[in-house]
Chain A
Amino acid sequence: KQEVTQIPAALSVPEGENLVLNCSFTDSAIYNLQWFRQDPGKGLTSLLLIQSSQREQTSGRLNASLDKSSGRSTLYIAASQPGDSATYLCAVCNNAGNMLTFGGGTRLMVKP
């Protein structure tokens, strides 16, 4: 059974810092991995999708890497802003069209 872990559980940084969120998964036979953002009381916004054959994906100030063999992914946020404050969720899909297994999330607070 796939298990996904995210570290740290919570993070508070001053504005402008570059930061790294970590995600690890136990079963390396994944189909893809997604990073999501969730604001309090809201649904999920997809940030980046990495297919199993890819090493990284970039969107603006966000960069996600994937090391499938070691069961790890990182989300790098450059020049953090207060508007980046949210919970970031990592989720793994093991088969095409299948459900996602979520990590516990990292609650990020960027202070002005």
Chain B
Amino acid sequence: GAVVSQHPSWVICKSGTSVKIECRSLDFQATTMFWYRQFPKQSLMLMATSNEGSKATYEQGVEKDKFLINHASLTLSTLTVTSAHPEDSSFYICSARDSGSGTEAFFGQGTRLTVV
């Protein structure tokens, strides 16, 4: 299947700093990517839909100024957690579909963020 690469796999940062997470589709183009968040022993919850060349669409309750999303190319979307706090500690996973064939969703490896 298609490959989605997410980087970094884990990050520890101090409270108040910003963290950028990258999501790349390696062998296909994705006009739309999705960012999910997963708390321990819970399922994935959609945070936002990232659209190439336009503004992201955020789910209710997700602060767009805190979770900045940029989708500048057909193969790269970034999620920046600004002024991170301990409650932002979570597992963040991105997903993409091939714009050409696109029925199956592929996921990145996830990023474990710990804010201390």
Residues on A close to B: CB < 8 A? 31-32, 34, 36, 41-46, 49, 51, 89, 91, 93, 96-97, 99-105
User: Chain B: which residue is nearest A41 at the CB level?
Assistant: B112
Interface residues of B, dominant DSSP: strand
Inter-subunit contact A97/B32 (CB<8 Å): yes
Q: At the interface, yes or no: B54 with Cβ under 8 Å from chain A? A: no
Q: At the interface, yes or no: B75 with Cβ under 8 Å from chain A? A: no
A89 partner, pick from B44, B95, B106, beta carbons under 8 A: B44
Chain A residues, Cβ within 8 Å of B95 = 44, 99-100
Inter-subunit contact A43/B42 (CB<8 Å): no
Chain A residues, Cβ within 8 Å of B91 = 41
Chain B residues, Cβ within 8 Å of A49 = 103-104
Residues on B close to A: CB < 8 A? 1, 6, 32, 34, 36, 42-46, 49, 91, 93, 95, 97, 102-110, 112
Chain B residues, Cβ within 8 Å of A93 = 105
B101 to chain A, nearest CB (A): 11
Inter-subunit contact B6/A43 (CB<8 Å): yes
Chain A residues, Cβ within 8 Å of B102 = 96-97
Chain A residues, Cβ within 8 Å of B34 = 99-100
Inter-subunit contact B43/A32 (CB<8 Å): no
User: Chain A: which residue is nearest B48 at the CB level?
Assistant: A99
Chain A residues, Cβ within 8 Å of B112 = 41
Q: How far is the CA of A79 from the CA of B16 in the complex (A)?
A: 50
